Amino acid sequence: MVSEDVKPENAESEAPEAPEEAASIGASAADEPQHDEHDVAPVGVASPSQLGTQRFVFGGYFAAAIGIAFILSKVLEFAWFKLQAVKPVIGEPRDEIIMPVAGLLGAATAVYYWYRTRARQLAEEVAVEMGKVTWPSRTEVTNGTFVVIVTTVVSTVFFALMDRFWGFVTNLVYGGS
């Protein structure tokens, strides 16, 4: 494996090549197509491909924050209604109060778990392992879905016919109506 094939862990550790190193690489570098300037991300900005599996960890924390905010908004709204029954002066729950409070609590929870090293390590390990999974192609998923639907329909028809048959036999034996 050539050192050029290894992706650096972070963008800051990547240093530009010295002219001597570029000349020593030889014809393999000359054969590669040159990228235009607009294809290169600005310095200090990480593109999704540079983030690797880290982007899934960020996405997971963001989704968790949104989910927690949603659940907290429902809990706060319920608590507000219950408190209104005890103390009617409070009035109707207002979304301009409940939604920002729930959003802040959701974001605070995500940040709290981001700074907990063990939780973040676990999320990163899960993302790395999920990156190793061989996912089925679109045709494999389509064929598998078709097989499941056909099997479900056939077994439903089979059991419906068996139910009718045994109902008929039971009525003959026991003389039901």
Task: Kindly list the domain boundaries of the chain, sorted by start residue.
Answer: 3-49, 52-131, 139-177
The whole-number pLDDT of residue 19 equals 47
- Which residues touch 170 (CB under 8 Å, ≥6 apart)? 176
Positive/negative CA dihedral, 160, 162, 168, 171: negative
Q: Which residue has the higher pLDDT, 127 or 11?
A: 127
The whole-number pLDDT of residue 98 equals 79
Cβ distance 108 to 60 under 8 Å?
no
- Which residues touch 123 (CB under 8 Å, ≥6 apart)? 57, 60, 61
Per-residue pLDDT tens digits for 2-31: 444 445 554 444 444 444 444 444 444 445
Tokens at residue 133, please? 């999974």
CA distance 74 to 79: 9
Whether the pTM exceeds 0.75: the reply is no
- Average pLDDT for 84-109: 76
Q: What is the average pLDDT score of the chain? A: 75
Amino acid at residue number 96: E
* pLDDT band for position 85 (cuts 50, 70, 90): confident
Has residue 91 got a pLDDT over 70? no
Per-residue pLDDT tens digits for 66-80: 888 888 888 888 887
* pLDDT band for position 57 (cuts 50, 70, 90): confident
Tokens at residue 127, please? 């993302």
Cβ distance 83 to 90 under 8 Å?
yes
